[in-house]
Amino acid sequence: MLIKYSGVDICREEQLVLKGVDLEVGKGEFVYLVGKVGSGKSSLLKSFYAEVPVLTGEAQIFEYNLPKIRRKEIPPLRRKLGIVFQDFQLLIDRSVHNNLEFVLRATGWSDKSQIETRINEVLEHVGMSNKGYKLPHELSGGEQQRIVIARALLNSPEIILADEPTGNLDPHTGDQIMQLLYHIRENGTTIIMATHNMNFVHKYSGRVFECADERLVARLM
């Protein structure tokens, strides 16, 4: 089991967001988090990478005990996760290639040939192998999100956390991003995705959890 939460309360700025969260997630699963804005989806995702602290209950991700995680353990935890944001968060002053190189060097890569090889691999994986020289503003929204997914794949994460990854995209482009994420899941990577788009939930099968009334509840779709 990659993630195991039992009786977890999640708070933001001392305000309770979710209480009594019970959740287990294994390898290669596709998990949806649905619910209204402000219901706790993003807070739950952020708790997985220790951006939001877990103060009560039992919470484990990989070998890390989140209620007792030490500051020095957080960077290696985050290197085992890929994070896909709705608003891309690419560095606008550098090319796609240099965005990806920045992440690799920041996470401990130093060999130039290995860096080049890995960048080429992830760009090819997301269908963007000819876009490395472009700046983010020269790309469409869908292309930027593909680069964000490539960035998330750089360190071969076991889990990708996707927070409304299609929220800023038109339906057709959003569907292409969903196909890409689903393909990544088929290669054994676990995907946990927060979304408002119930069409995707019905079209691409996965386990569904709803955040509502400060609870996380499993739903059958």
Distance CA 96, CA 16 (A): 39
Angle in degrees, 0-180, between the axes of helices 171-186 and 141-153, rounded to the nearest 10: 20
Q: pLDDT tens across 79-124, in order? A: 999 999 877 789 999 999 999 999 999 988 999 999 999 999 999 9
Q: pLDDT tens across 144-188, in order? A: 999 999 999 999 999 999 999 988 889 999 999 999 999 999 889
Residue spans of the domains in the chain: they are 1-80+157-221, 91-156
Which CATH code of 2.60.40.1180, 1.10.10.10, 3.40.50.300, 3.40.50.720 fits the domain covering 1-80+157-221? 3.40.50.300
Confidence band of 15 (pLDDT split at 50, 70, 90): confident
Q: What are the tokens at 125? A: 């994986």
Q: Which amino acid is at 216?
A: L
Inter-residue contact 118 to 154 (CB < 8 Å): yes
Q: What are the tokens at 66? A: 């989140």
pLDDT of residue 154: 94
pTM over 0.95: no
pLDDT of residue 34: 95
Angle in degrees, 0-180, between the axes of helices 96-106 and 112-125, rounded to the nearest 10: 120
User: CB under 8 Å to 136, separation ≥6 — which residues?
Assistant: 88, 90, 91, 92, 96, 99, 144, 147
Q: What is the mean pLDDT of residues 4-23?
A: 92
Q: What is the mean pLDDT of residues 117-136?
A: 94
